[in-house]
Structure 1
Amino acid sequence: MPSTDYGTQYRMPTASLTYNKTSIPSIFSGLVEDNGIISIEAEHYTSFMPASDLNYTTLLGYYRTLSATTVSDPVAPIPYYLDGLNTTPPRPRAYVVQIDDFDPQRRVYITDQPAEARIKYPLKDHFFGIDLILDTIRNAKNHRHLEGTWHRYEKFGNTFTSRLINCHTVFTIDPENIKTILATKFEDFKLSTIRVDAMVPIFGHGIFTTDGKARQHSRALLRPTFAKESISNFDTAECHFQHLLLCIPKNGATVDLQELFFRYTMDTATEFLFGHSVHSQTRARESIAANAEAPDAEFVTHYAYTQLEASHNVRLGPLNKFHYNAKANLARDKVFAYVDGLIDALFEKRAATLTLPQKEEMVDNDTGTKEKYIFLDALANETSDRQVLRDQILNFLLAGRDTTASLLSNLFFELARRPDVWAKLREKVKALEGRLPTYTDLRNMKYLKWCIDESLRLRPVVPANTREAIRDTFLPRGGGADGNAPLFVKKGTQVLYSVYSMHRRRDFFGDNSEEFRPERWEGLQPRWEYLPFNGGPRICLGQQFALTEASFVVVRLLQEFAGIEARDEEPWMELYTLVVCSKNGVQVGLARAERE
C-alpha cells in the first residue's frame, strides 16, 4: 500500500501542479470492498520546493484499514469524513489520497504553496540595491519618504520584493500579509535586527525593543498603567492644559500648536511617570535663561536629540554600525543620569521610611476620590532592578509623549483647514455646557472619534514597521503569476509594511482616500486594513491612553476657542523621526470663545 514507490509511481506531471491552489476536500468517496483501504500521505513544509521534489510520507492517523466495514451494495460509493485534516499542524503542503475499490482512485492535491514574488522591484544594483537605497534617502531628505513609498506601491502592486544591502526584503500593504506577520504567524517573525540595534543603545530593553519572554515581561509591567482608573482622571491633564492656554496669544496672533502639543505631552508624561513634571511649557513661556541648564530643562533637550539619533540610525539600516555620533552619546548619558537619579531618589526615600511612598489623593471625574498614580512608584513595586526601571521608563516616555503629540498635531493641521468640521465639533461640545469632560463624555462623542480615526488613517503616527523572519515561512499573498498565491519568505528576510500606504488604498477607503473626510467613518468597520496602533500580540497597550488624552485636549480647545484659521498655506510635509508629524509645524490663529 502507501510507500515511497507509490509516491514515485503516481506522481503527476509537475508543471501542472507547482502553483495549483486546490484545497483538499474533507470528504472522500470510494467504492470499498471488504478489507478495502483508504490511505493518505502528505508532504509537510520544510522549505520552498517545486512539486517534483515532494517526498510523501504517511500522514499519522489517516492510514486505516476498513476491514470492519461490510458494504451491502458493493457498487455504492461510501463517503469518509477526514476530521481535522486541513488543520493538523504543521500544515501539509501536499497530499496523495488513495481509495482502494474495484477501480482504485489515486489523486494528488497540492495545497496553497509558497511561490516567488509576482513582482520584484527593478533594481539596477541587484546585489546591494543601492539605487533603491539612494532613492529612499533622496525622498527622506526632501521630506517625502512616505509619499515616495506610497507611489512605489501604486506602481508595483501591494506586495513586491527587493534586495537591500545583501538582504532579501518583502514590501507589503496587503492586510492579509500584515495579519499573518502580526498575528497568524506571529511566532515566525521578530522585531527587525536593524531596528533593535538602532534603538537599544538609547532606549534599552523595553516594550519597543524586545521579543519573546522579555516582551511579555515588559507588557506585564506596563499593563496596570493603562487600567481605566489610571487614565480617566483629568486633573493633571487640566492643570497642564491651563499652561498650554497661557502660551496661545489672546489677540489671535499666529502660534505653532505642534510645538505646544509636544511640550504639553512632555509635561503630562513626566508627571505621570515621575510624580513631577519637567514644566517645559512654563520654561518656554517665561524664557527663564537662568534655568536653561536646570536638570529638567537639560533632560528635555537631550531626550529630543537622542530620539533624532535613534531615527537616523533606523534609516541607516545595516550601515548604522559604522556611524558614530559623540554628541548623541553624551546626550544619551545625560538622559540616563537624569532617570537614574530619580530612581535612586525613590529607593532612598523608601529605605528611609521603610514603607511605600504616600500617594496624594485626587478626584476622579467619573469615579470619585482615588489615589494619584505614579508610574515609577508602581513599577518599583514589581522590580528593584534599576536598569529595568530605566529602560521601561524611556520606552513608556517614547509612547506617552510623542505619539499623542503627533496625533494632535496632524489632526489640528486638518482642522485649521476645515472650518466646517471645527464648527460641527463645536456644536457637539456645547452639550457639555462648559463643564470639563469626563471619560464617559469623551467615549460618547462619536463625531470626535471619527475625526481622530480619520487623522490616524490619513497620517498614522507610526507610518511603517518592519519584521524579520526567524524561520522559513510564507505569506498568504504576493506569489505566483497573479500575485494571489502564497509568497515564500526565507529565514532572515526583512518584511516592511507601510500602514501609511495601506491606509490610502482606494479599494478600502474610496477614491477620495487622500482627503480628510471624517464622515467616511459612518458605518465603516475596517479590520486589518486599518492599523493605527498595530495589531496582534504587539498591539499598542496605550492606545486608549493616547486616544483619551488627545480627545481631552481637543474638547478643551473647542470649549475655549470659537474659531481656528490656518496661517500656513503650504501643504502638509512630513517630519519623520520615530513618529511622523508636520515639518512646518501647525501654524494657526485661534479666536477665543465668548463666555456665556
Structure 2
Amino acid sequence: MESGIGAPRFSKPATALLVTVVGAISFFLVRILRQVLRRRDLERLHGCEKLPNEDDRFRYDFFGIAKTIELAFHFQRRTSLEYTNALFTRYGETYVSHLIGYRLIFTHNRENIQHLLSAAFADFDSSPLRRPLFQSITPHGIFTLDGADWKKSRGQLYSRLSDLRRVIDLEGCERHFQSFLRHVPPDNQAFDVQSCVFALSLDIQTQLSLGESINALDPCQSAEKKQFQSDLLHVKERIVQDGFRGPLRHLRSDWTFIRSCRRAREYVTTQATREVQQRRHQEKAGVHAVRGAINAQAEEISQFTDQALSILLANDSIGTTLSGLFYCLSQDERVVHKLRASIIDTIGLTPPTWNQLGSLGYVRCVLHEVMRLFPAVVLNARVANKDSIMPSGGGLNGHAPVLVEAGDIVVFSTWARHRLGNDFGEHPQAFYPERWEQLCGDMPGFIPFNKGPRACPGRTVFSSLDDCPD
C-alpha cells in the first residue's frame, strides 16, 4: 500500500508543460545573458562610456511616468523647445532619459547627428515612429516607408523635383504672391501674416503637386477646396501634436482625425485621376506635359495620391521660412534696407528670371539665417534597428563613444544644434545674415533639410541660391 505522503506526482502532460516552460525561460535567460556580454564586449572594443542620465531627477520613477507628465506640461504651455534646450545646457550635448518604458537618447551633437543621418544610416529606421502618425493619410507615402520601398518612392520624388524650371511656374508664383499682397492692410495696420504666408505656400504647393491651386488666398474659394484646406490643416496639426505626445497620443480620440484623412484623400484622389488621365492622353498625342509636377511615368492613382499628399504634408517648410523671415525683418530695419537694395541692384523692379535668382547673394544669406533660427522641423528621431556606436556623448567630458542599443530611440534637435552649437560663430541666438557670407549651406552643423539619404527632396528648391562663398 502506497503512502499518501511524499513527493507529489505529475501527470505526463503536466510534466511536459513544466519542462517546456522551464526550457523557454532558460532559453530567454541565456539569450539575454549573451546579449549583455556581447554589448559589454562591444563597449570595451570601442571605448564606450556611459551617457549623462536625466533619471537623477526622477530616481524612483522607474517607468518614466513623471518624465512623461513633465513633457506633456511643457507641450501644453508651448515651452517644449526652451525646456529641451535647458536640459541640453544642464546635461551636455547628449544625454539619456526614459519615457514609459522607452529608452530615449537626446542629442544635438554634430558628429552624432552625422552618424544617424549618414555614416550609420542603415542602423536606424524612421518608419516605426512615423508610420503610426502618417498611416491614415499616406499609407504608402515616403513618411511611412523604409528599405527598398522607401528608395523607390524617394527616387520618384527626386526625379519630379530635379528640374525646377519645369516644375515651378514663376508666373504662377507671382500671381499667388499678388493675391497675398491683397491681404496686407494699408497704413501699417497689424494683420496675421503667418496665416497668410501659410495660405500662400499652400496655393503654390497645390499647384505644384495637384496641377491646380486650391486658391486659399481667394475670398471666393469654393466650398470643396475650403473643406480640403481645413482637413489638411487639421491632419497636419494632429500629426505634429501626436509626434510630441508620443505614447500619450493613444489617449485621444481618432475619429475626427480619421474623417479628415478620408476626406483629404478623396479630394486628392479626384485630382490625381484627372492628372493621370490627362498625362496619358498627352503621351498618346506625343505631347510632353510641362505643368503639374506630379505627372511622372504611368503611375497608379493611389501612388500619385500618396506622393502628392506627402508633398502637401511637408509644405510647412515654406510657410515656416516665410513666417520666420517676416518676423526677423520686423525686428531689424537695417537688414530690410540692405535686402531691398541688393534685390533692386540685381533684378530691378521687374519679375526675376531663373538666372537672376542664382545671383541674389544677400537673399541667400537672409534665407539661410532664417532657416537656421526657425527650422521647419525642430526635432527628429530614429529607432536603432541594431546595436550601434555613436561617436560622442559619453564620459565626464562628453567626448567618449556611446553604445546605442537596438530599440533605443535617438532624438536629435535641429533647434538646439542651430542655437547652441558652435558652428555659426559668435552669438548664435542672434539674427545676423552676414555670418553666411563666410558659411556654406552644406556645412555639417546646418540641418534644416536633414542630411544623408533622407535629406528633404525640397532641398533642390534652394540649390539655385546655395552657391557657397569662395
TM range (shorter): 0.7 to 0.9
Partner of 1:156 in structure 2? Answer: 91
Partner of 1:337 in structure 2? Answer: 266
Partner of 1:303 in structure 2? Answer: 232
Deviation digits for residues 248-301 of structure 1, max 9, x if unmatched?
224332222211111111111111122211111113xx5x7xx4xx21111111
Alignment pair present for 1:372 and 2:290: yes
Local SS of the residue matching 1:169: strand
> Following the alignment from structure 1 to structure 2, what is the Cα–Cα distance between the partners of residues 405 and 211?
27
Local SS of the residue matching 2:422: helix
> Following the alignment from structure 1 to structure 2, what is the Cα–Cα distance between the partners of residues 265 and 476?
39
Q: CA RMSD in A?
A: 2.7
- Map 1:306-385; keep pairs closer than 5 Å: 306-347=235-276, 355=284, 372-378=290-296, 381-384=297-300
* Larger displacement relative to structure 2 (343-352 or 416-425): 343-352
From 277, 295, 299, the equivalent of 2:213 is 277
Give the C-alpha shift of residue 349 in structure 1: 5.2
Distance 1:510 1:130, change over 3 A: farther
Alignment pair present for 1:535 and 2:451: yes
Partner of 1:137 in structure 2? Answer: 72
Partner of 1:512 in structure 2? Answer: 427
Local SS of the residue matching 2:274: helix
Local SS of the residue matching 2:104: strand
> Following the alignment from structure 1 to structure 2, what is the Cα–Cα distance between the partners of residues 390 and 549?
30
> Whose radius of gyration is greater, 1 or 2?
1
> Following the alignment from structure 2 to structure 1, what is the Cα–Cα distance between the partners of residues 317 and 88?
26
Give the C-alpha shift of residue 529 in structure 1: 1.5
> Following the alignment from structure 2 to structure 1, what is the Cα–Cα distance between the partners of residues 228 and 240?
18
Deviation digits for residues 384-443 of structure 1, max 9, x if unmatched?
2x32221111101122x3110110001110101111000001110112221211222222
Distance 1:322 1:257, change over 3 A: closer
Give the C-alpha shift of residue 514 in structure 1: 1.2
* Number of residue pairs matched by the alignment: 429
Local SS of the residue matching 2:239: helix
Deviation digits for residues 166-197 of structure 1, max 9, x if unmatched?
01111111111111111111110000523321
Deviation digits for residues 470-525 of structure 1, max 9, x if unmatched?
01111011123432211011100000000100111253334511111111222134
> Following the alignment from structure 2 to structure 1, what is the Cα–Cα distance between the partners of residues 387 and 99?
19
> Following the alignment from structure 2 to structure 1, what is the Cα–Cα distance between the partners of residues 321 and 82?
18
From 97, 117, 140, the equivalent of 1:205 is 140
Partner of 1:410 in structure 2? Answer: 324
Deviation digits for residues 143-187 of structure 1, max 9, x if unmatched?
121111111101110010011110111111111111111111111
- The answer on whether the counterparts of 2:167 and 2:292 sit within 8 Å (CA) in structure 1 is no
> Following the alignment from structure 2 to structure 1, what is the Cα–Cα distance between the partners of residues 369 and 283?
50
- Map 1:181-196; keep pairs closer than 5 Å: 181-191=116-126, 193-196=128-131
Give the C-alpha shift of residue 303 in structure 1: 0.8
From 290, 303, 309, the equivalent of 1:394 is 309
Q: Which has the higher strand share?
A: 1
Deviation digits for residues 302-323 of structure 1, max 9, x if unmatched?
1111111212221221233443
> Following the alignment from structure 1 to structure 2, what is the Cα–Cα distance between the partners of residues 215 and 239?
35
Which amino acid letter does the alignment assign opposite residue 337 of structure 2? A
- The answer on whether the counterparts of 1:192 and 1:494 sit within 8 Å (CA) in structure 2 is no
Local SS of the residue matching 1:161: strand
Alignment pair present for 1:498 and 2:413: yes
* Larger displacement relative to structure 2 (299-308 or 509-518): 509-518
Alignment pair present for 1:455 and 2:370: yes
Local SS of the residue matching 1:271: helix
Stretches of 4+ moved more than 6 A in 1? 350-354, 547-550
Give the C-alpha shift of residue 217 in structure 1: 0.8
TM-score scaled by length of structure 2? 0.84
Partner of 2:46 in structure 1? Answer: 112
Distance 1:549 1:443, change over 3 A: closer
Ranked by relative contact order (alpha carbons within 8 Å, sequence separation 6 or more), the top structure is 2
Give the C-alpha shift of residue 121 in structure 1: 4.0
> Following the alignment from structure 2 to structure 1, what is the Cα–Cα distance between the partners of residues 428 and 396?
29
> Following the alignment from structure 1 to structure 2, what is the Cα–Cα distance between the partners of residues 408 and 155?
32
> Following the alignment from structure 1 to structure 2, what is the Cα–Cα distance between the partners of residues 139 and 508?
28
- The answer on whether the counterparts of 1:231 and 1:548 sit within 8 Å (CA) in structure 2 is no
Which amino acid letter does the alignment assign opposite residue 200 of structure 2? Y
- The answer on whether the counterparts of 1:123 and 1:162 sit within 8 Å (CA) in structure 2 is no
Local SS of the residue matching 1:170: strand
Partner of 2:344 in structure 1? Answer: 430
> Following the alignment from structure 2 to structure 1, what is the Cα–Cα distance between the partners of residues 125 and 77?
31
Deviation digits for residues 190-246 of structure 1, max 9, x if unmatched?
005233212222232222222111111111111122223335641111121121122
Partner of 2:197 in structure 1? Answer: 261
State, as a whole percentage, how many aligned pairs show the same letter: 27
Which amino acid letter does the alignment assign opposite residue 224 of structure 2? P
> Following the alignment from structure 1 to structure 2, what is the Cα–Cα distance between the partners of residues 276 and 421?
35
- The answer on whether the counterparts of 1:404 and 1:546 sit within 8 Å (CA) in structure 2 is no
> Following the alignment from structure 1 to structure 2, what is the Cα–Cα distance between the partners of residues 534 and 354?
36
Which amino acid letter does the alignment assign opposite residue 536 of structure 1? G
Which amino acid letter does the alignment assign opposite residue 225 of structure 2? D
Distance 1:164 1:465, change over 3 A: same
Deviation digits for residues 316-342 of structure 1, max 9, x if unmatched?
212334432322221111101111222
Local SS of the residue matching 1:196: helix
Local SS of the residue matching 1:544: helix
TM-score scaled by length of structure 1? 0.67
> Following the alignment from structure 2 to structure 1, what is the Cα–Cα distance between the partners of residues 285 and 307?
20
